[in-house]
Amino acid sequence: MIDIKPSNDIILEIKSFQERESIENRLTNIGIEQRNHLVEEWKNNGSKGKKPNFISPYNCACILMKFINFILFDDEENTKLAMYQENKGIYTQNISIIKRIISYLEPCLNSNKADDVIYHIRNKAKIKKLTNTPNLIPVNNGIFNKKTKKLEPFTPEYVFTSKICTNYVENAELHSIDNWNFDSWLDEIACHDVEVYTLLWQVINDCLNGNYTRKKAIFLVGEGNNGKGTFQTLLSNLIGFDNVASLKVNEFDHEFKLSILEGKTLVIGDDVPVGINIEDSSNFNSVVTGDAVLVNPKKKQPYRAIYRCTVIQSTNGMPHFKNKTSGTNRRLLIVPFNANFNGDIERTEIKDNYLKNKKVLEYVLHKAINLDFKNFLIPKVSKEMLEQFKQDNDPVLDFKIVEFENWKIDKVPVSIVYQKYKLFCDKSGYKPLSERKFFKAFERYLSKNWRKKSVRYYSVKELQNKIGYFEPTLLPHGELKQSYINENFKVV
Model confidence at 373: pLDDT above 80: yes
Same domain assignment for residues 230 and 257? yes
SS (HEC) of 323-349: CCCHHHHCCEEEEECCCCCCHHHCCHH
pLDDT tens-digit readout, 195-208: 999 999 999 999 99
Give domain status of residue 160, yes or no.
no
Same domain assignment for residues 384 and 399? no
Same domain assignment for residues 19 and 89? yes
Partners of 83 in the β-ladder? 70, 92
Domain C-terminal end among 93, 110, 127: 127
Give domain status of residue 141, yes or no.
no
Give domain status of residue 148, yes or no.
no
Same domain assignment for residues 119 and 239? no
Work out how many domains the chain is built from and give that number: 3
* CATH label of the domain that carries residue 294: 3.40.50.300
Partners of 177 in the β-ladder? 180
Confidence of residue 18 (pLDDT cuts 50, 70, 90): very low
Give domain status of residue 134, yes or no.
no
* pLDDT for 491: 53
The Cα–Cα gap between 15 and 3 comes to: 23
Same domain assignment for residues 285 and 398? no
Give domain status of residue 219, yes or no.
yes
Helix, strand or coil for residue 244? strand
* pLDDT for 131: 92
Same domain assignment for residues 345 and 405? no
* pLDDT for 9: 46
Averaged over 173-198, what is the pLDDT?
A: 97
Averaged over 96-100, what is the pLDDT?
A: 96
Model confidence at 5: pLDDT above 60: no
Model confidence at 475: pLDDT above 80: yes
Give the structural domain span for 116: 8-127
Confidence of residue 244 (pLDDT cuts 50, 70, 90): very high
* pLDDT for 344: 64
Same domain assignment for residues 336 and 421? no
* Average pLDDT in the chain: 92
Give domain status of residue 1, yes or no.
no
* pLDDT for 2: 41
Model confidence at 1: pLDDT above 70: no
Averaged over 226-230, what is the pLDDT?
A: 95
Same domain assignment for residues 47 and 108? yes
* pLDDT for 336: 97
In terms of Cβ atoms closer than 10 Å to its own Cβ (0-12, 13-18, 19+), residue 164 is buried
Same domain assignment for residues 316 and 255? yes
Same domain assignment for residues 281 and 333? yes
Model confidence at 348: pLDDT above 70: yes
Give domain status of residue 2, yes or no.
no
Confidence of residue 21 (pLDDT cuts 50, 70, 90): low
Domain C-terminal end among 95, 127, 159: 127
Helix, strand or coil for residue 362? helix
* pLDDT for 492: 44
Same domain assignment for residues 269 and 247? yes
* CATH label of the domain that carries residue 475: 1.10.10
Under 8 Å between Cβ of 207 and 312: yes
Domain C-terminal end among 388, 423, 451: 388
Averaged over 297-304, what is the pLDDT?
A: 85
Give domain status of residue 162, yes or no.
no
Same domain assignment for residues 321 and 427? no
pLDDT tens-digit readout, 379-413: 999 999 999 999 999 999 999 999 999 998 999 99
